[in-house]
Amino acid sequence: MRIALLFVITYLKRRLAYRGDLLVQMLDELLRGLIALAMLQVYASKTDRLAGYSPDALLFVLGFSLVPISLFHCLCGNLYQFNARYILDGNLDRILLRPYPVFWQVCFDRLAIEDLSGTILGCALMAIAALRMPDFAWTPLHLAGLAVMLLSSTMVVIGVFKSFAALGFWFDDRVGMMPPVYNLMEFGRWPTELYAPWLKLFITCVIPFAFAGFLPASVFVGGESWPLLASPVVGVAALAVGSLLWRLGLARYNSTGS
């Protein structure tokens, strides 16, 4: 833990040395969240309820979904360019020489603290939506459950991208599957009832981004209660699969040489 803390402190010192650049990037993350909010307002203006959910409920889901995505960007954003930067360019060799877990070194190599602005925006949207919903419970148990769901959703996102980053050990491709998989997260922000059965099954059981947004968030806005138990299980399973693929990939990695 002490080494990890030193990694974090060193990186924070580097980033805070350029505060203007940091502020611009924070605004960029906020802008992406605000664009998603604008899209929600357009859809909500066309109907009073979408798949049985009110605009305030959908606003809560949107805010919820922004939190795990921004935490992933902050903590593990380097996974997005793992194939190109670390495997094909040979930077993984440098990582392997250090006596510290490879995955955490890759993550701590770049901590995008500016993306925490997305977490702040997401929490603000959830608070606004909750204040508009008279049935929302502000009890400690309810809020603790919300925190657990947010943690589970973050685990899902990190686990999925860890799995696809690990596939780079088998497939030499600079772009890889990250962009199309990343775009799938948008489906996790909306009620699964809107989708065709095959797509609903895909984002629930195959690449479970429904558990990174709508399903756990729906528990707090009048949805079914089963995701309250299923979400932590899916989060742990996603991380377990990602960790297994990561270990298998590292075991077959061959240095790029010089």
Residue 146's pLDDT is: 93
Query: Of all residues in the chain, what percent carry a pLDDT higher than 70?
Result: 87
* Side-chain-side CA neighbours of residue 251 (13 Å): 6
pLDDT tens across 42-73, in order? 877 777 787 788 889 999 999 999 999 999 98
CA distance 52 to 102: 45
Q: Which residue has the tokens 């505060």?
A: 19
Per-residue pLDDT tens over the stretch 178-236 = 778 888 888 988 888 889 999 999 999 999 999 999 999 999 988 888 999 999 999 99
pTM for this prediction: 0.87
* Sequence-separated (6 or more) residues with CB below 8 Å from residue 181: 160, 161, 164, 207
Q: Which residue has the tokens 């392997």?
A: 96
